[in-house]
């Protein structure tokens, strides 16, 4: 077994399994950027604080069934992640505003994992708990164009191997490899009350030097559609589609049945307390998973520009 699995939705967390990417997880917290994904914040410094709870009791195999490798599986992850978004005042490039982002998450993971063995042997316990700093996310340049009803952003996101990692541990907070991803997002306001947003992302991973494992490329689409029922209150649907597009390899050898996939759909609500202070709550229920956990995410986001 490779000691790695992201606690999907926790920024960079690993546990001991081997399926899809390295262990069935990913560096990027899918579902974090669907509402107003293409709408850039005002010039200057803007603080966003994210909280995410992810829980999964199913780990799906290549056919979409609960994996027979595991006699027992329960993954729970809680993450707090402050994001500093700085839109450079007065700076324009190709007619676009320029933004830089940095995120430093803190993750707490609780894993119950029993590896199935032939009778009369009891399952092998590979569970554990860990709390600590996860891998940092850094976006050096994001460009934002603004129209009357259509807004879009284009940029590069990176996830850096800064989180704690020990190849001998069942659970790790960091992934021990870097990822770079081009991203494009848009937000469209068809009328004064409605909005539609989507973010397209393609992540490329380098090799984990401690294990020799290289995760395949990852494509995702995050989306939302909202309706403003009150001037301060927005309600709607949100979700994502995730597909691993290339196979993993271990020391240069292709890993069979290693492409992960999952979909998610749920409700969200956003309430603007003041013009510069807003709270957003989201739920995303996963389905159609392959080679990875299938669970539910709950998000809370606080926006506080200054």
Count the residues in the chain: 306
C-alpha closest to that of 289 among 58, 71, 109: 58
How many Cβ atoms sit within 10 Å of the Cβ of residue 129?
12
Q: What is the pLDDT of residue 15?
A: 46
Q: Please report where in the chains the tokens 């989201």 appear, as a residue.
A: 282
Q: Domain residue spans in the chain?
A: 44-305
Angle, alpha carbons 220-5-139 (nearest 5°): 45
Q: What is the dihedral of CA 99, 104, 108, 113, to 10 degrees?
A: 70
109 neighbors 13 (Cβ within 8 angstroms): yes
- What is the chain's pLDDT, residue by residue, as a tens digit (306 residues)? 333 343 333 444 444 444 567 767 788 999 999 899 999 999 999 999 999 999 999 999 999 999 999 889 999 999 999 999 999 999 999 999 999 999 999 999 999 988 888 777 777 888 899 999 999 999 999 999 999 999 999 999 999 999 989 998 889 999 999 999 999 999 999 999 999 999 999 999 999 999 999 999 999 999 999 999 999 999 999 999 999 999 999 999 999 888 999 999 999 999 999 878 899 999 999 999 999 999 999 999 999 866
Q: What is the pLDDT of residue 3?
A: 33
Q: What is the pLDDT of residue 9?
A: 38
H helices then E strands: how many in the chain?
0, 19
Angle, alpha carbons 138-139-144 (nearest 5°): 155
Q: What is the pLDDT of residue 220?
A: 97
C-alpha closest to that of 222 among 204, 241, 237: 241
Residues contacting residue 140 through CB under 8 Å, at least 6 positions apart: 100, 156, 158
**DSSP element (H, E) containing 294:** strand 292-305
Q: What is the pLDDT of residue 17?
A: 47
**Nearest 5°: phi and psi at 261?**
-160, 155
Q: What is the pLDDT of residue 306?
A: 64
Specify whether domain 44-305 bears CATH 2.40.160.40: yes
Whole-angstrom Cα distance, residue 27 to residue 21? 10
225 neighbors 198 (Cβ within 8 angstroms): no
How many Cβ atoms sit within 10 Å of the Cβ of residue 256?
9
């Amino acid at each position: 077994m490779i000691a790695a699995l992201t606690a999907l939705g926790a920024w960079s967390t690993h546990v001991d399994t081997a399926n899809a990417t390295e262990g069935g997880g990913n560096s990027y917290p899918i579902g974090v950027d669907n509402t107003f994904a293409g709408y850039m914040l005002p010039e200057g410094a803007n603080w966003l604080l994210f909280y995410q709870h992810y829980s999964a009791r199913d780990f799906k195999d290549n056919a979409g069934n609960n994996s027979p490798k595991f006699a027992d599986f329960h993954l729970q992850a809680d993450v707090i992640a402050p994001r500093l978004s700085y839109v450079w005042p007065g700076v324009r490039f190709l007619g676009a505003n320029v933004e830089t982002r940095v995120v430093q998450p803190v993750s707490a993971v609780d894993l119950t994992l029993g590896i199935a063995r032939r009778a009369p042997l009891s399952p092998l316990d590979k569970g554990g708990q860990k709390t600590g700093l996860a891998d940092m996310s850094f976006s050096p340049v994001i460009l934002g164009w603004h129209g009357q009803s259509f807004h879009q952003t284009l940029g590069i996101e990176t996830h850096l191997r800064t989180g704690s990692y020990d190849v001998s541990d069942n659970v790790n907070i960091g992934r021990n490899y870097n990822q770079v991803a081009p991203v494009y997002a848009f937000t469209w306001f068809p009328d004064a009350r409605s909005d539609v947003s989507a973010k397209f992302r393609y992540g490329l991973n380098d090799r984990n030097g401690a294990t020799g494992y290289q995760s395949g490329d990852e494509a995702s689409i995050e989306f939302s559609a909202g309706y403003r029922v009150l001037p301060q209150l927005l309600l709607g649907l949100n979700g994502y589609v995730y597909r691993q597009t290339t196979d993993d390899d271990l020391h240069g050898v292709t890993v069979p049945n290693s492409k992960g996939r999952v979909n998610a759909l749920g409700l969200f609500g956003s309430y603007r307390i003041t013009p510069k202070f807003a709270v957003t709550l989201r739920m995303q229920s996963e389905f159609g998973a392959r080679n990875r956990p299938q669970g539910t995410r709950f998000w809370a986001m606080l926006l506080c520009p200054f």
